[in-house]
Amino acid sequence: MIPALFVFAYLAIVLYIGIFAFRRSRRAGAEDYFLAGRSLGPYVFLFSLFGTNMTAFSILGSSGHAFNNGVVTYGLMASCSALIIPLTIFLVGTRLWALGKKFGFMTPVQMFRDRWECSHIGTVIFTVQAALLVPYIIIGVMGGGTTLSAISGGRVPYWFGGALVALVVMCYVFFGGMRGTAWVNTFQTILFLCFGAIAVIVIGSGMGGFKNAVDALRSAPATAALLSRERISPLFFFSYSFIPLSSIAFPHIAIFCLTARKMEQFKRTVIFYPICILMLWLPCCFLGVVANRMTDAPQIQRKLEARRELAAQGSQLTPDERDSLREKMGADDVLLLLLDRYAPIWLAGLLGAGIMAAVMASDSQILALSTMFTEDIFAFYEGKARFGEAVQVYTGRIFVVAVTIVAYVIALKAPQSIFELAVQYAFSGYAALAPLLIAALFWKGSSKWGALAATVWTAFAVIAVAVFQASIPAPAPGPPVVAWSLGGIDILSRTPGGTAVLGFMPVAPMTLVSTALIVLVSLLTRKPAPQTIARYFPK
CA distance 395 to 503: 45
The answer to whether residue 268 is domain-embedded is yes
pLDDT at residue number 360 = 67
Distances (CA, A) of 79 to 73, 102, 276: 9, 35, 12
* Residues spanned by the domain of 194: 2-294+329-444
Q: Which of 275, 286, 144 is nearest to 211 (CA)?
A: 286
Whether the CB-CB separation of 149 and 62 falls below 8 Å is answered with no
**Burial zone of 364 (CB within 10 Å; 0-12 exposed, 13-18 middle, 19+ buried):** buried
pLDDT at residue number 125 = 94
Distances (CA, A) of 259 to 22, 194, 364, 390: 17, 26, 13, 20
Predicted TM-score of the model (pTM): 0.84
What does DSSP say about strands 489-495 and 498-501: parallel, antiparallel, or unpaired?
A: antiparallel
DSSP string, 183-241: HHHHHHHHHHHHHHHHHHHHHHHHTT-HHHHHHHHHHSHHHHGGGSSTTS-HHHHHHGG
Whether the CB-CB separation of 61 and 424 falls below 8 Å is answered with no
Domain count, the chain: 1
CA distance 513 to 453: 10
Whether the CB-CB separation of 376 and 123 falls below 8 Å is answered with yes
What does DSSP say about strands 481-486 and 498-501: parallel, antiparallel, or unpaired?
A: unpaired
What does DSSP say about strands 481-486 and 489-495: parallel, antiparallel, or unpaired?
A: antiparallel
CA distance 358 to 196: 12
The answer to whether residue 55 is domain-embedded is yes
CA distance 126 to 122: 6
Could you give the 3-state DSSP secondary structure of residue 105? coil
b/e code 26-57 from CB counts within 10 Å (16+ = b):
eeeebbbbbbbbbbbebebbbbbbbbbbbbbb
For helices 120-151 and 334-342, give the axis angle rounded to 10 degrees.
30
DSSP type of residue 316: G
> For the chain, what is the total number of helices (H) and then of strands (E)?
29, 3
Could you give the 3-state DSSP secondary structure of residue 491? strand
The answer to whether residue 160 is domain-embedded is yes
Distances (CA, A) of 193 to 168, 198, 209, 229: 22, 9, 22, 27
The answer to whether residue 121 is domain-embedded is yes
The answer to whether residue 93 is domain-embedded is yes
pLDDT at residue number 527 = 93
CA distance 463 to 299: 35
Whether the CB-CB separation of 480 and 233 falls below 8 Å is answered with no
Whether the CB-CB separation of 412 and 159 falls below 8 Å is answered with yes
Whether the CB-CB separation of 463 and 472 falls below 8 Å is answered with no
The answer to whether residue 535 is domain-embedded is no
Q: Is the dihedral of CA 171, 175, 177, 179 positive or negative?
A: negative
Beta bridge partners of 492: 484, 501
pLDDT by 10-residue block (mean), the chain, 539 residues? 75 79 63 75 82 75 86 87 90 92 90 92 92 80 77 79 80 78 81 76 76 83 83 84 90 87 84 86 86 80 84 75 78 80 75 70 77 88 81 83 82 65 77 94 95 96 88 79 86 85 90 96 94 90
The set of residues, in sequence order, having a beta carbon less than 8 Å from that of 266 and lying 6+ positions away, is: 89, 90, 93, 94, 97, 257, 260
Counting Cα atoms < 13 Å in the Cβ hemisphere of 482 gives 10
Q: Is the dihedral of CA 276, 277, 282, 285 positive or negative?
A: positive
Q: Is the dihedral of CA 529, 530, 531, 533 positive or negative?
A: positive
Q: What is the CATH number of the domain that holds 137?
A: 1.20.1730.10
The answer to whether residue 41 is domain-embedded is yes
CA distance 465 to 471: 10
CA distance 294 to 296: 6
Whether the CB-CB separation of 402 and 317 falls below 8 Å is answered with no
The answer to whether residue 299 is domain-embedded is no
pLDDT at residue number 526 = 93
pLDDT at residue number 22 = 67
CA distance 176 to 190: 20
